[in-house]
Amino acid sequence: MFYWLKNYYININIIMSDNNFKILVFDFDLTLISNHSKGYPISNNLPLIDEQIAEKYNKYFRILKRKHNVSHIMINSRGLKHEIKEYLKKCNIHVDRIYGALDSNDIASNDWPNKKTRILNRISKKYTNGDKSKIYFYDDTAENIEVAKKNGYINSRLVIINGIKLLKWIYKIFDS
């Protein structure tokens, strides 16, 4: 475990010093996963992802990091951050960072397209020195993508496929 962790951080530092790295940012419901939890994956008893499927997620994440200079995989969701974190832990799916709603009032806010873009701004500032072209944002809501693109996130994509199919598609796009 320690060896893997040590090599992971060495590889991330090499990727980021290469200056050709990417950060993948996914919405959660109907994007990274195929179901809709309405912001509450634990409270609404969202079915857990099968162990074999979960391993496929982790496999694609590892390959994207190793082969395609992806430095971080993150979630930017309207859902409750702590429930998404708990859900992914139960499914044994590993992402680097989760951004989400802090409480029910936050979920009810109608300003999520702007909130998601402000989160992208924080990610860009912290990890890319403001280079928005390194952020690849995937979401199933057109308004979220429109606002992100208007704010300079040119690699934002509206998705109509989700889950493992989305990860396969991203892999193929980066591979070509």
18 band by pLDDT with thresholds 50, 70 and 90 = low
Helix (H) or strand (E) holding 58: helix 51-67
**Predicted confidence (pLDDT) per residue in 79-113, tens digit:** 999 999 999 999 999 999 999 999 999 999 999 99
For residue 157, the one-letter residue type is: R
Query: How many domains, the chain?
Result: 1
Rounded to whole angstroms, the Cα distance separating 114 from 133 reads 18
Is the pLDDT assigned to residue 20 strictly greater than 90? no
Whether 22 maps to a domain, the answer reads no
9, burial (CB in 10 Å: exposed 0-12, middle 13-18, buried 19+): exposed
How far is C-alpha 89 from the geometric centre of its chain's CA atoms? 15
Is the pLDDT assigned to residue 16 strictly greater than 70? no
Whether 111 maps to a domain, the answer reads yes
Whether 21 maps to a domain, the answer reads no
176 band by pLDDT with thresholds 50, 70 and 90 = confident
Q: Tell me the three state secondary structure of residue 70.
A: strand
Whether 14 maps to a domain, the answer reads no
- Residue 170: what are its φ and ψ, rounded to 5°? -60, -45
| Owner of token pair 């208007």 | 150
Whether 26 maps to a domain, the answer reads no
Rounded to whole angstroms, the Cα distance separating 121 from 137 reads 12
Whether 28 maps to a domain, the answer reads no
Whether 12 maps to a domain, the answer reads no
**Predicted confidence (pLDDT) per residue in 150-173, tens digit:** 999 999 999 999 999 999 999 999
Rounded to whole angstroms, the Cα distance separating 35 from 87 reads 13
> In terms of residue numbers, what domain contains 122?
34-68+76-175
Whether 81 maps to a domain, the answer reads yes
Is the pLDDT assigned to residue 36 strictly greater than 60? yes
CATH number, domain containing residue 141: 3.40.50
Residue 24, beta-bridge partner list: 73, 136
Helix (H) or strand (E) holding 104: helix 104-108
Global pTM value: 0.89
Give, rounded to a whole angstrom, the gap between the first and last alpha carbons of the chain: 33
